[in-house]
Amino acid sequence: MKIAPSLLSCDFAKMGEEIEKMDKCGADYMHLDVMDAHFVPNLTFGAPVIKAVRSYTEKPFDVHLMISEPLKYIDDFAKAGADIITFHAESDSDISKTIDKITENGIKPGLVIKPNTPASAVFPYLDKLFMVLVMTVEPGFGGQSFMADMLPKVQEIKAECAKRGLDVLIEADGGISTSTIKQAADAGVDVCVAGTAVFKAEDSAKAIAELKAIAEK
* Residues marked as catalytic: 33, 173
- Please check whether residue 136 is in contact with residue 147, taking contact to mean a CB–CB distance below 8 angstroms: yes
- The residue number whose beta carbon is nearest to ligand DX5 equals 195
Q: Which one of Zn ion, ligand DX5, none interacts with residue 57, CB within 5 to 8 A by kind?
A: none
Which window, 25-33, 88-96, 97-105, 204-212, contacts Zn ion (CB under 5 A)? 25-33
Instruction: For residue 8, state whether it binds ligand DX5 (rule: CB under 6 A).
Output: yes
Cα–Cα distance measured from residue 83 to residue 108, given in angstroms and rounded to the nearest whole number: 6
Own/partner pairs for 97-105, CB < 8 Å, 24+ apart? 97/71, 98/70, 98/71, 98/74, 99/125, 99/128, 99/129, 100/128, 101/71, 101/74, 101/75, 102/74, 102/78, 103/128, 105/74, 105/75, 105/78
Q: Which one of ligand DX5, Zn ion, none interacts with residue 174, CB within 5 to 8 A by kind?
A: ligand DX5
Q: Work out how close the CB of 139 gets to Zn ion at its nearest, in angstroms, rounded to a whole number.
A: 7
What would the x/- binding string for ligand DX5 be over residues 75 to 114, using CB under 6 A? ----------------------------------------
Q: Work out how close the CB of 163 gets to ligand DX5 at its nearest, in angstroms, rounded to a whole number.
A: 29
Please select the residue that binds Zn ion; options are 64, 101, 114, 153, rule is CB under 5 A.
64
Residue 111, beta-bridge partner list: 87, 132
Chain residues 31-50 in contact with ligand DX5, contact rule CB under 6 A:
31, 33
The string of DSSP letters for 169-217 reads: EEEEESS--TTTHHHHHHHT-SEEEESHHHHSSS-HHHHHHHHHHHHH-
State the residues that interact with Zn ion by CB under 5 A.
33, 64, 173
Residues within the annotated binding site? 6, 31, 33, 64, 140-143, 173-175
Residue set of the binding site for substrate: 6, 64, 140-143, 173-175
